[in-house]
Amino acid sequence: MRVFLIHVRDPQFYALPATRRAANGNIRVMGFPPIGIMSLSAVLKRAGHECVMFDQANPETPNAVIVDAIRRQKPELVGLSFLSTTSYPYAKLLARQIRAVDPHTRLAFGGVFATLNAALIKLQCPEVDFVCRGDGEQLILDLLDGLDDPCGVAGLTWAKDGQPVQNPNRMLDRNLDQWPFPDRDSLPLDFVESMPLDVPAVLSVERFTTMQTSRGCPWPCVFCDIPIFNEGKWRSRSPQHVVDEFKHLQQLGYGAVYFVDDHFLLQPKRIEAICTGINEAGVTIQWGCEGRVDSTAQHLFPAMAKAHCRTVMFGVESGSQKVLDRLKKEQTLAEVEGAVTKAKQAGIEIVHGFFVVGNPDETVDDMRATFDFAARLRLDTFAFNRLCVYRGTPLWQEYLQRGLVNDADDWYKYFKCSEIDPTCLPGEVINAERTAGFRRLFRYKLRHYPFQTLRLLRRFMRYMKWRDVAYLIIKPFLGKQSGPTRNETLSRAVEHGALKDAAAALTQVSHEDLERVLQESRIERLRLQREAEHGQPA
Ligand code: B12
Ligand code: SF4
């Protein structure tokens, strides 16, 4: 069968850095490749289907071109893939454009946001036939087999006689090695390695791609929906499978890879085996990953550096223990300091800290402590985002109970916490403190870590225009000082579908569901700990 897969983007998160194309003729995009649809494309092709991918980052295939191709080629299924609440408005827009020209093509949505809000989406966006929940590899194959009668397709939400039907969940499959490597050849785009930020921050001009070596994270952070998306589990590919993909990428000429794993730094034996495998295979690709600061794999930072790990990113979140505890981060300031120091001592070139400000119960003193803490840490780069609340997280659940959000009306909106939670500082205060904090932080870094700071600036200046480097530096001081951002406003400017209350009831993440996931997470962590102590990697 013929399938079209489209990666829907939030335009803030990519840029076209060059007017000239890459040597192979491809357009260059600064951002992450669409690994979700690339994974599905490889699975479909192996099963004998035809698959055409589109990425909204490609200026040569704007929506009009995609819609026209669908009208002419009439694929049996069109899958729209998007990551988050912020890209849902763009997905809906495209779905409607497609439906307007082709009343028959079957349309499917997938991704994290779609998974967590499936029935609500089905009702608000009736032009979409199927909303696919969870892992897509087996699901899309099953869907093609059951296009006309999808009642047996696990993980699917669809409608019968105008009513949403939620087929049972798909069993989480731990065998990730069964799937082929993502199809990185079929999109005419070359990706430029940059930091995962909403401003251009080019790290190298090596041929760049992403890889996923594990899925999920069994921790209870209140603002994160990864645990519920993965039912509290962590699943991984075998070291050999990961090393084989590295070898394959090296042959294709890739020079840089970023792992989109939620927590790569679990299972020391697995990490050690991957590093050994990379060295033994003579792979020279530079790579980066994210993980928790309480990882028990920190003694492996030197081995990772030796295996060309250039970037490690930690979710530091706050410099106030009180705030960390409120966010249920289950980490201490001492652990943060220890992890960052060890990573730098091991020779990891770029150590990044993700921070959040505007948290519930956070005071001005807590915010100041955060910036001062960030200044003291040996971090190379950092990002300070305002905390937002997404449906599916424990924080959303808490806000429901406190009457701050309402599932029926607010499920597709995203809010900065400070806009709806009276225990947060007001937006103006947060922004003013953030600006002042940045100023102190930059001054401290230049005074105490001048070489580290200049080395990093030199790296950026090697690949970026002066203007863009200047923007990167002054961005934190710019912007509207209060109120919702353009994206927040867009996410709220959505009409309501009929039957929304019924749908909200249907997809409600009940307190029991959430408790079950948190319980599963605890069990999963014990399993991983036991495995690390006694047995083979998962
Ligand atoms: C990499 C990443 C990014 C990259 C984007 C990369 C890209 N190509 O666009 C960057 C750094 C730019 C980014 C930005 C943001 N991100 Co982000 N990101 C991720 C991360 C870590 C990995 C995504 C990924 O590549 N997964 C690997 C692929 C293989 O999985 P997948 O895309 O989910 O696809 C699988 C299934 O979902 C399914 N599937 C997907 N599509 C389809 C379609 C069909 C038809 C079918 C059948 C199946 C299917 O099949 C695939 C294979 O199993 C996720 C966490 C996560 N684990 O998902 C967060 C995550 C998606 N991001 C999140 C957020 C909040 C954001 C931001 C809004 C952050 C911010 N405040 O600005 C922005 C918005 C960006 C946007 N919407 O474009 C949240 C989303 C929460 C929510 N409910 O909205 C997540 C879940 C992290 C978190 N817990 O907070 N992100
Ligand atoms: S550590 Fe917390 S924030 Fe990070 S992926 Fe795990 S649950 Fe989400």
Give how far the C-alpha of residue 245 lies from the chain's centroid of Cα atoms, to the nearest Å: 21
The mean pLDDT of 291-314, rounded to a whole number, is: 97
Q: Decide if pLDDT at 445 tops 50.
A: yes
Ligand 2 test: best mutation among 292, 336, 393, most atoms within 8 Å of CB?
Answer: 292
**CA-proximal residue: ligand 1, atom 72 (nearest):** 198
Would you say 399 and 420 are in contact if contact means Cβ atoms under 8 Å apart?
Answer: yes
CA 134, CA 110: separation in Å to the nearest integer? 8
Cα(218) to centroid of ligand 1, in Å? 17
The SS3 assignment for 60 reads: coil
Cα(417) to centroid of ligand 1, in Å? 21
Backbone dihedral angles phi then psi of residue 365, each to the nearest 5 degrees: -65, -40
Average pLDDT, the chain: 90
Ligand nearest to the CA of 394: 2
Ligand 2 test: best mutation among 219, 352, 389, most atoms within 8 Å of CB?
Answer: 219
Tell me the pLDDT band of 163, cut-offs 50, 70 and 90: confident
Distances (CA, A) of 196 to 56, 88, 199, 229, 489: 18, 20, 9, 21, 23
Position 536 scores a pLDDT of 58
Q: Decide if pLDDT at 480 tops 60.
A: no
Q: What angle do CA 399, 415, 212 make, to 5 degrees?
A: 95
Cα(37) to centroid of ligand 2, in Å? 24
Q: Is residue 292 in contact with ligand 2, taking CB distance under 6 Å?
A: yes
Least confident of 274-278, 280-284, 388-392: 388-392
Position 200 scores a pLDDT of 67
**Token pair listed for 67:** 């819609």
The SS3 assignment for 88 reads: helix
The mean pLDDT of 220-236, rounded to a whole number, is: 95
Q: Is residue 140 in contact with ligand 1, taking CB distance under 6 Å?
A: yes
CA 208, CA 255: separation in Å to the nearest integer? 6
Would you say 135 and 172 are in contact if contact means Cβ atoms under 8 Å apart?
Answer: yes
Alpha helices in 252-359 (DSSP H): 268-280, 301-306, 321-326, 333-345
CA 131, CA 116: separation in Å to the nearest integer? 10
Please choose, from the candidates 216, 8, 49, the residue with its C-alpha nearest in 3D space to the C-alpha of residue 143: 49
Tell me the pLDDT band of 487, cut-offs 50, 70 and 90: low
Would you say 374 and 381 are in contact if contact means Cβ atoms under 8 Å apart?
Answer: no
Q: Decide if pLDDT at 202 tops 90.
A: no
Residue type, 223: F
Q: Which helix (H) or strand (E) holds 398?
A: helix 394-401
CA 515, CA 57: separation in Å to the nearest integer? 39
Would you say 48 and 42 are in contact if contact means Cβ atoms under 8 Å apart?
Answer: no
**Ligand 1 atom nearest to CA at 33:** 8
% of residues, the chain, pLDDT over 90: 72
Tell me the pLDDT band of 1, cut-offs 50, 70 and 90: very high
Max mean pLDDT among 15-24, 121-130, 141-150 falls in 141-150
Q: Is residue 176 in contact with ligand 1, taking CB distance under 6 Å?
A: no
Tell me the pLDDT band of 473, cut-offs 50, 70 and 90: confident
CA 219, CA 520: separation in Å to the nearest integer? 10
Position 233 scores a pLDDT of 96
**CA-proximal residue: ligand 1, atom 67 (nearest):** 84
CA 310, CA 290: separation in Å to the nearest integer? 12
CA 16, CA 23: separation in Å to the nearest integer? 16
Tell me the pLDDT band of 538, cut-offs 50, 70 and 90: very low
Position 520 scores a pLDDT of 85
Tell me the pLDDT band of 145, cut-offs 50, 70 and 90: very high
**CA-proximal residue: ligand 1, atom 81 (nearest):** 84
Burial (CB < 10 A; 0-12, 13-18, 19+), residue 441, is buried
Q: Decide if pLDDT at 478 tops 90.
A: no
Q: Is residue 315 in contact with ligand 2, taking CB distance under 6 Å?
A: yes
Cα(314) to centroid of ligand 1, in Å? 18
Cα(260) to centroid of ligand 1, in Å? 9
CA 483, CA 491: separation in Å to the nearest integer? 14
**Ligand 1 atom nearest to CA at 197:** 11
Cα(63) to centroid of ligand 1, in Å? 21
Q: Is residue 233 in contact with ligand 2, taking CB distance under 6 Å?
A: no
Neighbouring C-alpha atoms within 13 Å toward the C-beta of 416: 22
**CA-proximal residue: ligand 1, atom 64 (nearest):** 84
Cα(455) to centroid of ligand 1, in Å? 31
Q: Is residue 113 in contact with ligand 1, taking CB distance under 6 Å?
A: yes
The SS3 assignment for 410 reads: helix
Please choose, from the candidates 302, 340, 303, 345, the residue with its C-alpha nearest in 3D space to the C-alpha of residue 319: 340
pLDDT tens by residue, 526-537: 888 888 887 655
Least confident of 367-371, 384-388, 408-412, 491-495: 491-495
Cα(282) to centroid of ligand 1, in Å? 31
DSSP state of 425: P
Ligand nearest to the CA of 261: 1
**CA-proximal residue: ligand 1, atom 30 (nearest):** 36
pLDDT tens by residue, 50-81: 999 999 999 999 999 999 999 999 999 999 99
CA 515, CA 522: separation in Å to the nearest integer? 11
The SS3 assignment for 301 reads: helix
Ligand nearest to the CA of 518: 2
CA 523, CA 500: separation in Å to the nearest integer? 35
Tell me the pLDDT band of 188, cut-offs 50, 70 and 90: very high
Ligand 1 test: best mutation among 43, 76, 84, most atoms within 8 Å of CB?
Answer: 84
Position 489 scores a pLDDT of 67
Query: For 473-513, what is the HEC assignment?
Result: HHHHHCCCCCCCCHHHHHHHCCCCCCCHHHHHHHHCCCHHH
Q: What angle do CA 434, 469, 336 make, to 5 degrees?
A: 45
Residues 6+ apart with CB under 8 A from 160: none
pLDDT tens by residue, 316-368: 999 999 999 999 999 999 999 999 999 999 999 999 999 999 999 999 999 99
Position 450 scores a pLDDT of 87
What size, in residues, is the chain?
538
Position 499 scores a pLDDT of 46
Cα(395) to centroid of ligand 2, in Å? 13
Q: Is residue 263 in contact with ligand 2, taking CB distance under 6 Å?
A: yes
Cα(276) to centroid of ligand 1, in Å? 30
**Ligand 1 atom nearest to CA at 34:** 8
Strands 189-194 and 163-166: unpaired
Q: Is residue 340 in contact with ligand 2, taking CB distance under 6 Å?
A: no
Q: Is residue 416 in contact with ligand 1, taking CB distance under 6 Å?
A: no
Q: Decide if pLDDT at 217 tops 80.
A: yes
* Position with higher pLDDT, 205 vs 155: 155
**Token pair listed for 492:** 């709220």
Would you say 256 and 208 are in contact if contact means Cβ atoms under 8 Å apart?
Answer: yes
Q: Decide if pLDDT at 151 tops 50.
A: yes
**CA-proximal residue: ligand 1, atom 5 (nearest):** 32
Position 534 scores a pLDDT of 77
The mean pLDDT of 47-51, rounded to a whole number, is: 98
> Could you identify the residue written with the tokens 């050999």?
240
Cα(271) to centroid of ligand 2, in Å? 19
The mean pLDDT of 213-231, rounded to a whole number, is: 96
CA 90, CA 83: separation in Å to the nearest integer? 11
Sign of the dihedral through C-alpha 30, 35, 40, 46: positive
